Amino acid sequence: AQSVSQHNHHVILSEAASLELGCNYSYGGTVNLFWYVQYPGQHLQLLLKYFSGDPLVKGIKGFEAEFIKSKFSFNLRKPSVQWSDTAEYFCAVSWAGNMLTFGGGTRLMVKP
Amino acid sequence: SAVISQKPSRDICQRGTSLTIQCQVDSQVTMMFWYRQQPGQSLTLIATANQGSEATYESGFVIDKFPISRPNLTFSTLTVSNMSPEDSSIYLCSVVLAGGITGELFFGEGSRLTVL
């Protein structure tokens, strides 16, 4: 079965630190890739997405992600995190237009 | 984007009872889905809500336990039947907007269900 793995379950950073959250998916052909964010008490929101083209995609709030096809990865990055980035981050993948499969999520806590 | 309204936002229920969750979208949508997010876990797709026909359920989910209706393009209900404490979860309605791309989902705020 197709799967999505997020290796970091909990991450704690200080403000201004750099962030990289890992996401790997199982092989299965053409993929669409997403990162969603859930801030405390709020609903899931789309952070960024990749369908095709430039493998480095930029999203809202200074986030970016790089699609590396050879590694089946789509890691999320931010050069300098803020306290307001405290949230849970979900990587999600759809294969050939099928339904989204979500990773297990990463809880990020940014200390002021 | 779209406004996706779910009711109730939260509820506390007794074992053995059933609860129906409603999802209303203010924009045209092509696809509607129901997800479950159990405490401390990720999202799991329950089913695709099909307009005017039976929902398409994922492995591990059955119609008798989670009956779903979608009488029109912008409204759907999910019923959690004969509830047990294991059904305590957040239930999320999500949609693909008309003109959008499969996989680019928008989510409601969820319905937090606690079963005692």
Q: How far apart are the C-alpha atoms of A103 and A58, rounded to whole Å?
A: 20
pLDDT at B102: 60
Per the domain annotation, does B49 fall within a domain?
A: yes
Per the domain annotation, does B102 fall within a domain?
A: yes
Of all residues in chain B, the one with the smallest CA distance to A107 is B40
Q: Supply the range of the domain harboring residue B80.
A: 18-106
Per the domain annotation, does B6 fall within a domain?
A: no
Which residues, at least 6 apart from A53, have a Cβ–Cβ distance to it below 8 Å?
Answer: none
Our count of domains for chain B comes to 1
Low-confidence ranges of chain A (pLDDT < 70): 97-98
Per the domain annotation, does B1 fall within a domain?
A: no
Does B33 reach chain A within 8 Å, measured CB to CB? yes
* Count of other CB atoms within 10 angstroms of residue B71: 10
pLDDT at B49: 95
Per the domain annotation, does B115 fall within a domain?
A: no
Share of chain A above pLDDT 70, in %: 97
Q: What is the pLDDT of residues B79-113, one digit of tens each?
A: 999 999 999 999 999 998 888 766 678 899 899 99
Per the domain annotation, does B2 fall within a domain?
A: no
Shortest Cα distance from B83 to chain A (angstroms)? Answer: 24
- The CATH number for B26's domain is 2.60.40.10
Q: How far apart are the C-alpha atoms of B29 and B5, rounded to whole Å?
A: 14
pLDDT at A41: 84
pLDDT at B103: 66
Does B97 reach chain A within 8 Å, measured CB to CB? no
Containing B3, the helix (H) or strand (E) segment is: none
Per the domain annotation, does B116 fall within a domain?
A: no
- Helix, strand or coil, per DSSP, at residue A3: coil
Nearest to A104 among B42, B48, B104 (CB): B42
Residues of A with CB under 8 A from a CB of B: 32, 34, 36, 42-46, 49, 51, 90, 92, 94, 97-105
Domains of chain A are 4-111 (2.60.40.10)
